[in-house]
C-alpha cells in the first residue's frame, strides 16, 4: 500500500496543537531570564523531542501505545508537579534566581519528554493511517521550537511585569499541565 501525505494545513494545525504544552512550559521558564543559551537548549530539545516522538509512535505502533497509555501520563504528571511545586515554593520565598534551571539536566529531559508525549500518539495515529511521517514530524519539531522561543520571550516579559509572582504562576502552569496529562 502507498503511504499517503497529510495536507499541509492539517500538519500546521497539528503542530500548533502539539506545541501548546511546550509554549506553556516556556512561559514558566521565561521567569528565569532570556539568554541565548537557555533559548537554544529549550527550543532545540523541545523541538527535537516533538520531532522524534511521532516517528517513534509511528514505528512502534501498538506495543508502545499500550505501555505509554498506561503509565506515561502518570510519570509525566509526577515530574511536572514536582518541578512546578518547587517553582511555587521558590517563588513564594522570593528567590527565583535560585530556581533550578529548567533548561538543564533532568529538568530539561523530563520537560522535553512530558511536553512531547502527545506527539507519540499522533505518530501512532499517522502510522495507523499509513501516512508519511517525515514531513509532519519535521514540521511539528520546527513549530514547537518556534513556539518555545516565543513562550520564553513572553515569559521574560511576564516576569518583568509580575516579578517573583511570575515564577509562582509558571509553577502553577506546570502543575496544571501535569494534572491535565491524566484527566
> What interhelical angle do 165-182 and 134-162 show, nearest 10?
140
Beta bridge partners of 4: 131
Instruction: Write down the mean pLDDT value for the chain.
Output: 80
Q: Which residue has the higher pLDDT, 75 or 54?
A: 54
Give the pLDDT confidence score for residue 47 in this predicted structure.
96
Confidence of residue 51 (pLDDT cuts 50, 70, 90): very high
Give the pLDDT confidence score for residue 68 in this predicted structure.
58
Q: What is the pTM of this model?
A: 0.74
CB 119 within 8 A of CB 50: yes
pLDDT single digits (tens) 87-125: 778 777 765 455 567 778 888 898 898 888 878 878 877
> What interhelical angle do 36-92 and 165-182 show, nearest 10?
90
Cα R_g (the chain), whole angstroms: 17
Give the pLDDT confidence score for residue 40 in this predicted structure.
94
Cα angle 150, 153, 154 (rounded to 5 degrees) comes to 85
Residue 147 has pLDDT above 90, yes or no: yes
3-state SS assignment for residue 127: helix
φ, ψ for residue 7 (rounded to 5)? -55, 140
Q: What is the mean pLDDT of residues 126-153?
A: 89
- Work out the number of other CB atoms within 10 angstroms of the CB of residue 134: 11
Q: Quote the CA–CA distance of 127 and 69 in Å, as a whole number.
A: 16
Show me where the domains of the chain are located. 8-182
Q: What is the mean pLDDT of residues 51-66?
A: 78
Q: Which residue has the higher pLDDT, 16 or 100?
A: 16
Give the pLDDT confidence score for residue 42 in this predicted structure.
93
Highest mean pLDDT among 65-74, 79-88, 139-148, 164-173: 139-148
Q: What is the mean pLDDT of residues 46-58?
A: 93
pLDDT single digits (tens) 155-169: 888 877 776 676 677
The C-alpha cell that represents 57 in the structure block: 509512535
pLDDT single digits (tens) 32-48: 777 899 899 999 999 99
Which stretch of DSSP H or E encloses residue 1?
none
Amino acid at each position: 500500500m502507498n503511504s499517503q501525505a497529510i495536507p499541509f494545513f492539517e500538519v500546521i494545525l497539528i503542530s500548533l496543537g502539539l506545541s501548546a504544552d511546550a509554549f506553556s512550559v516556556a512561559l514558566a521558564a521565561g521567569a528565569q531570564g532570556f539568554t541565548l543559551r537557555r533559548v537554544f537548549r529549550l527550543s532545540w530539545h523541545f523541538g527535537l523531542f516533538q520531532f522524534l516522538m511521532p516517528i517513534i509512535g509511528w514505528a512502534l505502533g501498538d506495543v508502545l501505545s499500550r505501555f505509554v497509555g498506561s503509565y506515561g501520563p502518570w510519570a509525566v504528571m509526577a515530574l511536572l508537579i514536582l518541578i512546578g511545586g518547587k517553582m511555587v515554593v521558590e517563588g513564594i520565598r522570593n528567590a527565583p534566581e535560585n530556581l533550578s534551571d529548567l533548561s538543564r539536566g533532568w529538568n530539561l529531559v523530563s520537560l522535553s519528554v512530558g511536553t512531547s508525549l502527545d506527539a507519540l500518539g499522533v505518530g501512532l495515529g499517522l502510522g495507523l493511517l499509513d501516512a508519511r511521517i517525515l514531513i509532519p514530524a519535521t514540521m511539528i519539531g520546527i513549530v514547537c521550537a518556534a513556539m518555545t522561543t516565543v513562550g520564553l520571550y513572553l515569559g521574560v516579559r511576564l516576569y518583568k511585569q509580575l516579578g517573583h509572582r511570575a515564577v509562582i504562576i509558571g509553577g502553577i502552569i506546570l502543575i496544571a499541565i501535569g494534572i491535565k496529562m491524566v484527566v
